[in-house]
Amino acid sequence: MTSPVSVSGLTKIFHDESRGEVRAVDGIDFECKGGEIFGLLGANGAGKTTTLRMLATILLPSGGHATLMGHDVAAEPEAARHSLGFYSASTALYPRLTPRETLDFFARINGFPSDRVNERVTALVARFGLGDYADARVDKLSQGMKQKVSIARTVVHDPPILIFDEPTVGLDVLNAIEMRNVIAEFRAEGKTIIFSTHIMNEAEKLCDRIAIIHRGRIHACDTLAGLREATGHHYLEDIFVYYVEQANGH
């Protein structure tokens, strides 16, 4: 059986007027198993977001392949997205809808069976404690509440694969902890999760396997224990620096 997420030789080239051809992602390969959190660890500009946006079919790959639940992201983008819940700091909510309307809308356009939409929305409202605010407009909600609505929005159609692109950026400590707890809960439910971050601590605590990405290439991909063994360093920060320096030719 193929892995829920399979990436091979994935490449994205941008053409920038001042810099010319930029290989934002340069032939990366990885696979994610069901029920694991796969971490993409890299500095800003390393190619994490571009990779995840290609997986979400927001960007078209310049080369290589990626499949979500067996559907090629370039050839069958709608089918690939059907299996996916995508969350990033830049995926905002509609300010003029209420949380209930938001969940209802995203369940329906993601193809959740319409006779079960109400039941699903009610369950998510209860799970994320949105009850008192479920019928207030999103633009009236606090940042923490919006974050909860956003997570509920990501999983409303019960997709097998979830992508979280730097989900804790801009959150305070308590909200960041809550985000990590929720992601761990999704793993327990058997979801395949791709989690990108530049925060070592987060990757250490949450990820089953970590891929270190730098300048568009994956330089290592293993469990934390495996990475420790390969580099001889204990802390992820040191492991990360080790690979980056190696990549930079030091």
Partner 1 sequence: MRSGPSVIRTLYANELRMVLRDRRTIMMAVVLPVLVMPVMLFASHWTSSRREKTLEETTYSYAVTGSEAGAARSLVDATRARLSTNAGKAPAAFSFREAAVKEPAAALERRGIDFYLDAVPGEEAVRSAERQRAKAKPPSVGGGAAGGATEEIDDSELATPGAPSIRMVFRADRDVSRTGFRKMRDALRGTRDQQRAALLAARGFPVEPAAVAAIVERNVATEGQVAGLTLGRMLTLMLLAFILSGGAAVATDSLAGEKERGTLETLLATAASRVDIVVAKHLVILTVALTITLIQVANFLLYIGFKLIPASAGFSAAVPPQVALLLLVLYLPLAALVSSVLLLTSGHARSYKEAQLYFFPIFLLGMVPALAPFLPGLTLRSAIVLVPVANLSVAVKEILIGAFDWPMIAVSWVVTALAAVWASRLAVRALSTERLTTGAEADEVDAKGGPALFSRHVLRWFAVMWAVVFAVAVNMPADTDIRIQIVINLVVVFFGATVLMIRRYRLDVREVLALRPVKPVVWLAVIAGAPASLFVGVGVFKLASLFVPVPPKMLESFGQALLPSNIPAWQAVALLSILPGIFEEITFRGALLYGLRGRLHPAGVALVVGLVFGLFHVALFRLAPTAALGVMLAAVTMMTGSIFPAMLWHAVNNGLALALAELKYPLAESGAGQQLAALAILAAAFWLVYRNRTPYPGLRPWRRPSSS
Residues binding partner 1 (CB under 8 A): 13-17, 53, 56-60, 62, 76-79, 81-82, 84, 86, 88, 90-97, 101, 105-106, 108-111, 137, 153, 157
Least separation in angstroms between CB 34 and partner 1? 20
* Beta partners for residue 8, in sequence order: 65
Return the CA Rg of the chain: 18
Residue 34 or residue 77: which is nearer to partner 1 going by CB?
77
Least separation in angstroms between CB 90 and partner 1? 5
Taking a C-beta distance cutoff of 8 angstroms, is the pair 57, 77 a contact? yes
Q: Who's near 53: CB < 8 A, 6+ residues apart?
A: 59, 165
Residue 96 or residue 250: which is nearer to partner 1 going by CB?
96
Least separation in angstroms between CB 87 and partner 1? 9
**Distance in angstroms (rounded) separating the CA atoms of residues 157 and 151:** 12
How far is residue 112 from each of residues 56, 98, 103, 119, measured CA to CA in Å? Answer: 18, 19, 11, 11
**Distance in angstroms (rounded) separating the CA atoms of residues 123 and 132:** 14
Q: Give the three-state DSSP class for 68.
A: strand
Residue 153 or residue 191: which is nearer to partner 1 going by CB?
153
Least separation in angstroms between CB 74 and partner 1? 12
Residue 70 or residue 231: which is nearer to partner 1 going by CB?
70
How far is residue 5 from each of residues 117, 167, 247, measured CA to CA in Å? Answer: 27, 20, 26
Least separation in angstroms between CB 77 and partner 1? 8
Residue 82 or residue 228: which is nearer to partner 1 going by CB?
82
**Distance in angstroms (rounded) separating the CA atoms of residues 210 and 62:** 24
Least separation in angstroms between CB 129 and partner 1? 22
Residue 1 or residue 109: which is nearer to partner 1 going by CB?
109
